[in-house]
Amino acid sequence: MSLPEPETEEGRAGLAALRTDPARAVLALDFDGTLAPIVADPGAARAHPGAVPVLGRLAPRLAGVVVITGRPAADAVAYGGFAAAEGLEGLTVLGAYGAERWDAADGVVRAPEPPAGVAAVREELPALLDGAGAPEGTWTEDKGRALAVHTRRTASPDEAFALLRDPLYALAERHGLVVEPGRMVLELRPPGVDKGAALTGYVRERAATTVVYAGDDRGDLPAYDAVGALRREGVGGLLLYSAPEAGDETVPDLARRADVTVRGPAGLVEWLRGLAGLL
Ligand SMILES: O=P(O)(O)OC[C@H]1O[C@H](O[C@H]2O[C@H](CO)[C@@H](O)[C@H](O)[C@H]2O)[C@H](O)[C@@H](O)[C@@H]1O
Percentage of residues in the chain having pLDDT higher than 70: 100
How many residues belong to the chain? 279
The interface pTM score, or ipTM, of the predicted complex is 0.99
CA–CA separation, 269 vs 229, rounded Å?
27
Q: pTM score, two decimals? A: 0.98
CB distance 33 to ligand 1 below 6 Å = yes
Condensed to tens digits (0 to 9), the pLDDT of residues 221-266 reads 999 999 999 999 999 999 999 999 877 889 999 999 999 999 999 9
Nearest partner of 23 among 266, 206, 270, 218, judged by Cα = 206
pLDDT of residue 103: 98
Distance 148 CA to ligand 1 centre (A): 9
pLDDT of residue 246: 78
Distance 150 CA to ligand 1 centre (A): 9
Where are the domains positioned within the chain?
A: 9-110+193-278, 116-189
Query: For ligand 1, what atom is nearest to the CA of residue 97?
Result: 1
Tell me the catalytic residues. Answer: 30
For 9-110+193-278, CATH number?
Answer: 3.40.50.1000
CB 128 within 8 A of CB 106: no
Distance 42 CA to ligand 1 centre (A): 6
Nearest partner of 270 among 62, 76, 4, 18, judged by Cα = 4
Q: Strands, DSSP E only, in the chain?
A: 25-29, 64-68, 92-95, 100-103, 109-110, 139-142, 147-150, 178-182, 185-189, 210-215, 236-243, 260-263
pLDDT of residue 1: 62
Strand-strand pairing, 109-110 and 100-103:
antiparallel
The residue-averaged pLDDT of 32-61 equals: 98
Q: Name the β-bridge partners of 147.
A: 142, 188
For 116-189, CATH number?
Answer: 3.30.70
CA–CA separation, 42 vs 11, rounded Å?
32
Residues 6+ apart with CB under 8 A from 76: 31, 67, 69, 82, 93, 95, 102
Confidence of residue 165 (pLDDT cuts 50, 70, 90): very high
Query: For ligand 1, what atom is nearest to the CA of residue 40?
Result: 17
